[in-house]
Chains A and B, each alone.
Chain A
């Protein structure tokens, strides 16, 4: 399409509105601009670097300027050089060019501000019923459009400094590498509103009331702004709202659901200290000490950077996991129903971070694999970690991917249960013991899992009794590891394909490996050393079940229902608690 169909009118009075206005207008299908302070934050780092360079170079000058009594001894030196040092400041002073210099500076500043202003003016976004679109660039224009039914989640990131003035980055997670649509920056209230609206539109919910309910929970500060309020006062109100929010701590909307998991700080710190990286640190320290005893004492000095590095790593991981909360929300516009099974799928809200606060919203059906793991260090304390495979929409090289894979950094068994029930709402009640009692806590009498056969136990000498799988009607469970216990859960509706492999050694023992193919992530879908016939059986069964599950799955529009068909859907999902999702959607997305 030609993007010039929608070229904004030159005056910002028409359909194009600045961000700092009443929130619901942002999702009215028109083009909008981002927050006026955006260039400051996007270019902020650049400006700081420039300022730093200037200050570093003019350090002496500034010292002379503000502390003239230190001037004397250095002054002589400069005089002796007769201004031949090539220092432009000296040149200006010598030739009395203050006015020209000032004008040049002013010109540069004006050009910079103009460029920032232009980039802000040309950075517009639009949210329609089907897409999120962002246009950027002045000379080289880019136009990115993300279909809403492929939205994998919405992240709201609030970096430390942006938080101070009440701004937030919104990131609409798309289904692909580097496919996110970023709205940087919006005021926090607007970001919340836009997020709720995006999720409502993406969910396919046609209940308009949901949107009103969502936006009613927001800060009222900005909604109160009359349409004619100037940008400056809007910005001022944003700042003040941000400051109050920062001080009072009331950053989330009032009706924020209670987190189902609370991580005490002590547990968090202890769990990070009891991690694999600590073992590495101990190994390194031992190696260094042995090395220094063995005759090269100078290696002791390498201890210091190692310790600093580990310390920084710990502090970072701990602060990132502080203030963790996970809760079900209904921001997708799904019907509110009391907890338990048979309710309509709701989105999950995960918040974490002490300085940079990140709030992720995970719509249902976006989790491709879940893994519960426990290293041997955590076993005495009974702690578990939950990681998931999900589409983060970022490039492969993006270092921040990791933080979006850990859903629960550390939790007790009860925490794990609660989080899993959120992540896998479709798993029927009678199957949970298979996950917890048998799956997570290892083989017990009457083990329902199909494990490594005895003849192949030498290939899994420790874990052969635990190494096995279980196929449920809507999930494939893989249990692994005796020292590092792991249980991977693959919802069949998300399974991309399944493979079975056999090497020469496997063949001699008549065993095989199965591999569940999901999107790339930390959860590994390979389960080796299974009886060949059992592996072939699960290969066929899981494939058939995956086809069935996928065809009845409609979580890409998770709240989509015909208004007429809606009551039926409710009754179906209540009567039949084993249904993962209401199976009323013969109309798949074309």
Chain B
């Protein structure tokens, strides 16, 4: 359960920063969360060994703002329908939708803390989710391409989304809120390592 609370001291002999995957630890863990949020039950999927890198704190703000804007738009539409054409039923779908959005905003900070990724010797391990936990391990040699996307809001907060594509569509590893420097470093590192260990499909 070594879930490093600080940016990792260099002396610490973790599997993570071994010779094969040279990543300066400081960049990946700059201004990120420092503890993976886990379910309380003892039957959960444990964290295991190694250091988990986490998302940047700005990710939560980006999510809250975009969801909040969507909620405001929905609210405005419902109000418009209600007051202009006196259609009270508009509150039924609108209310359900607003409720879902409010719930999403409430759990967003928790969810953001549950994301994590580990750079092990041979593979990248990715985890997400609290209620529905999901852990995926992707061997470096299997990566086909790595996508970085950032929208205008993301750019404003200096974060980016990194998507890792293998030949299997179901792999689905998307790390949503990385600092841009961290995302680029991670991409370059992963591409290098993947190129080194490239195998057939």
Q: Does B133 contact A (CB under 8 A)?
A: yes
Q: Please, which residues of chain A bring their CB within 8 A of the CB of B136?
A: 497-500, 517
Decide yes or no whether B29 CB sits under 8 A from chain A: no
Cβ–Cβ contact B139 & A550, under 8 A: yes
Q: Please give me the 3 A-B residue pairs with the lowest Cβ-Cβ distance, nearest first.
A: A556-B200, A510-B43, A496-B168
A130 in contact (CB, < 8 A): no
Give 22 A-B contacts (CB < 8 Å), ordered by A residue.
A152-B201, A391-B201, A497-B137, A497-B139, A497-B142, A497-B173, A498-B137, A501-B135, A504-B131, A504-B132, A507-B41, A507-B133, A508-B41, A517-B166, A518-B170, A519-B169, A520-B168, A525-B170, A532-B45, A543-B122, A550-B142, A589-B200
> Does the CB pair B135–A365 fall under 8 Å?
no
* Distance, CA A550 to CA B173, complexed state (A): 20
**Residue in A496, A536, A553, A590 with the greatest tally of chain B CB atoms within 10 Å:** A496
Across the interface, which residues of B come within 8 angstroms of A520, CB to CB?
168-170
**Chain A facing B: main interface SS:** mixed
B171: interface (CB < 8 Å): yes
Alpha-carbon separation in the docked complex, A554 to B201 (Å): 10
Q: Are A536 and B46 in contact (CB under 8 A)?
A: yes
A150 CA / B122 CA spacing, docked (Å): 23
A547 at the interface (CB under 8 A from B): yes
CB <8 Å contact, B141 and A550: yes
Residues of B within 8 A of A150 (CB): 200-201
Please encode chain B, from 171 to 199, with 1 for each CB lying within 8 Å of some chain A CB and 0 for all others: 10100000000000000000000000111
B123 is an interface residue with CB less than 8 A from chain A: yes
Interface residue A136 (Cβ < 8 Å from any Cβ of B) = no
Contact with A along B78-89 (1 / 0, CB 8 A): 000000000000
Q: Quick check: B200 and A365 within 8 Å, CB to CB? A: yes
The docked-state distance in angstroms from the alpha carbon of A152 to that of B201 is 9
Select which of B133, B142, B201 is within 8 A of A502 by beta carbon: B133
How far does the Cβ of B143 sit from chain A's closest Cβ, in whole Å? 9
Q: How far apart sit A508 and B40, CA to CA, in the bound complex (Å)?
A: 11
Please measure, in the bound complex, the distance between the C-alpha atom of A515 and the C-alpha atom of B172, giving whole angstroms: 12
Give Cα distance in the complex from A499 to B128, angstroms.
Answer: 11
Judge whether B102 is part of the interface by a CB distance below 8 angstroms: no
Q: CB within 8 Å of B: which of A328-348?
A: none
Are A503 and B132 touching (Cβ within 8 A)? yes
Q: Which of B136, B141, B199 has the most CB of A within 10 A?
A: B199
B199 touches A553 (CB 8 A): yes
In contact, B201 and A519 (Cβ under 8 angstroms) = yes
- The interface residues of chain B, by DSSP majority, are classed as loop
Shortest A96–chain B CB gap in Å is 67
By size class, the interface of chain A is 35 or more
Query: Among A365, A518, A547, which residue has its beta carbon within 8 angstroms of that of B123?
Result: A547
Shortest Cβ distance from B145 into chain A, in angstroms?
12
Contacts of B138 in A (CB 8 A): 496-497
- CB 8 Å contact bits of A576-590 with B (1 = contact, 0 = none): 000000000000111
Q: Does A544 contact B (CB under 8 A)?
A: yes
8 Å CB contact of B168 from A175, A517, A588, A590: A517
Q: Does A509 sit within 8 A of B, measured CB to CB?
A: yes
Kindly list chain A residues whose C-beta atoms are within 8 Å of the C-beta of B133.
Answer: 501-503, 507
Find the A residue at minimum CB distance from B42. A510
Pairwise interchain contact A509-B139, C-beta atoms closer than 8 A: no
Q: Which residues of A contact B (CB under 8 A)?
A: 149-150, 152, 175, 365, 368, 391, 494, 496-504, 506-512, 515, 517-520, 525, 532, 536, 539, 543-544, 546-547, 550-551, 553-556, 588-590
| Binary A-proximity of B6-48 (CB < 8 A = 1, otherwise 0) | 0000000000000000000000000000000001011111101
Closest to B137 in A: A543
Alpha-carbon separation in the docked complex, A500 to B141 (Å): 20
The answer to whether B45 and A512 touch across the interface, beta carbons within 8 angstroms, is: yes
A499 touches B166 (CB 8 A): no
Interchain nearest-CB distance for B1 vs A (Å): 14
A509-B43, A536-B45, A547-B139 known; A494+B171 contact, CB < 8 A: no
Chain A residues whose C-beta falls within 8 Å of the C-beta of B169 in the assembled complex: 519-520
Q: Which residues of B contact A590 (CB under 8 A)?
A: 198
Contact of A496 among B42, B44, B142 (CB under 8 A): B142
Known contacts A496-B138, A519-B201, A555-B200: A503-B131 contact under CB 8 Å: yes
Sample of 7 further A-B pairs with CB below 8 A, known A496-B166, A503-B131: A494-B201, A498-B137, A502-B134, A503-B133, A515-B170, A556-B200, A589-B200
Q: What residues on A are CB-neighbors of B123 within 8 Å?
A: 497, 543, 547
Complex alpha-carbon distance, A149 and B170, angstroms: 24
- A500 and B135: CB pair below 8 A? yes
Of the residues B39, B48, B122, B201, contact of A507 by C-beta under 8 Å: B39
In the complex, chain B residues whose CB is within 8 Å of the CB of A508: 41, 43
In the docked arrangement, what's the CA distance between A500 and B126, Å?
10
Residues of the A chain whose Cβ atoms lie less than 8 Å from the Cβ of B168: 496-497, 517-520
B167 at the interface (CB under 8 A from A): yes
Are B44 and A539 in contact, with the CB atoms below 8 A?
no
Report which of B132, B137, B166 forms a contact with A501, defined as CB distance below 8 A. Answer: B132
Contact A501 B134 (CB under 8 A): yes
Closest approach, in angstroms, between the C-beta of B185 and any C-beta of chain A?
22
Q: How far is the CB of B133 from chain A (nearest CB, A)?
A: 5
Give bound CA distance, A391 to B168, whole Å.
11
Given A517-B170, A544-B122, A175-B198 contact (CB < 8 Å): no
